[in-house]
């Protein structure tokens, strides 16, 4: 089995592509070792010591290492864990209570005003069709979290979380796109 790797705009994060589907639906972000209790794979990656974040996308896993760690040392260990997991056809999540498996989706009601329904639909459509695929290429995800008084709130995950260029992406990329197509948008913020 071959697992490809790609750099991301975040120097602390590398995207690993196992050549198969990782998550059928949604994404899952593990920001701490405690978050990883639901997944044997995420737990194994955190147990390596230098790993500070794990993100499961549709066909990739993004791994973030801590400051002071070097990719030349971490990458072979991470690849070993991933190869063992996928070659052994192991489950991504532990069986048991579905409550432990929190798969983030972008379909929650965030208290958007009913009179903004058309605007919110346009914003969500642009995020789903233009923003999320581009961000997934960089090993992350962005989820809609609300619209109020012209401000769109988004949550960044995976390689996007903590990336030095995320502010530029958010302001120059996403905000410009949304303002162009949805004149009611005045600002985009990460929450």
Q: Are 120 and 147 in contact (CB under 8 A)?
A: yes
Dihedral sign for Cα atoms in the order 177, 7, 163, 133: positive
Look at residue 106 and tell me whether its pLDDT is greater than 60. no
Contacts of 186 (CB under 8 A, 6+ apart): 149, 150, 151, 179
pTM, two decimal places? 0.75
Nearest to 120 by CA among 146, 143, 142, 155: 146
179: part of which helix (H) or strand (E)?
helix 176-181
56: part of which helix (H) or strand (E)?
strand 51-56
Instruction: At 126, give phi and psi (nearest 5°).
Output: -65, -40
Question: With bands split at pLDDT 50, 70 and 90, how would you rate the model's confidence at 171?
Answer: confident
pLDDT in tens, 46-93: 999 899 999 999 999 999 999 889 999 999 999 999 999 999 989 899
Nearest to 175 by CA among 153, 145, 155: 153
d(CA 170, CA 165): 9
Mean predicted confidence (pLDDT) in 152-163: 78
Q: What is the pLDDT of residue 99?
A: 45
Return the residue matching tokens 């973030």. Answer: 64
Look at residue 182 and tell me whether its pLDDT is greater than 90. yes
**Helices of type H across 47-98:** 71-87
């Amino acid at each position: 089995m071959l697992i490809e790797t790609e750099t991301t705009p975040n120097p602390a994060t590398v995207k690993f592509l196992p050549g198969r589907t990782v998550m059928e639906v949604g994404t899952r972000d593990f920001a701490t070792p405690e978050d990883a209790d639901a997944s044997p794979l995420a737990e194994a990656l955190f147990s390596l010591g230098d790993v500070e974040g794990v993100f499961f996308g549709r066909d990739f896993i993004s791994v973030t290492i801590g400051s002071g760690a070097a990719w030349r040392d971490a990458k072979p260990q991470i690849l070993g864990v991933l190869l063992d997991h996928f070659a052994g056809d192991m489950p991504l999540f532990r069986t048991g209570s579905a409550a432990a498996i929190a798969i983030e989706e972008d379909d929650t009601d965030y208290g958007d005003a009913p009179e903004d329904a058309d605007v919110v639909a346009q914003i969500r459509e642009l995020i789903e069709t233009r923003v999320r695929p581009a961000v997934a290429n960089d090993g992350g995800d962005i989820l809609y979290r609300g619209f109020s008084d012209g401000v769109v709130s988004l949550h960044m995950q995976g390689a996007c979380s903590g990336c030095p260029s995320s502010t530029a992406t958010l302001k120059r990329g996403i905000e410009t796109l949304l303002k162009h197509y949805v004149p009611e948008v005045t600002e985009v913020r990460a929450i």
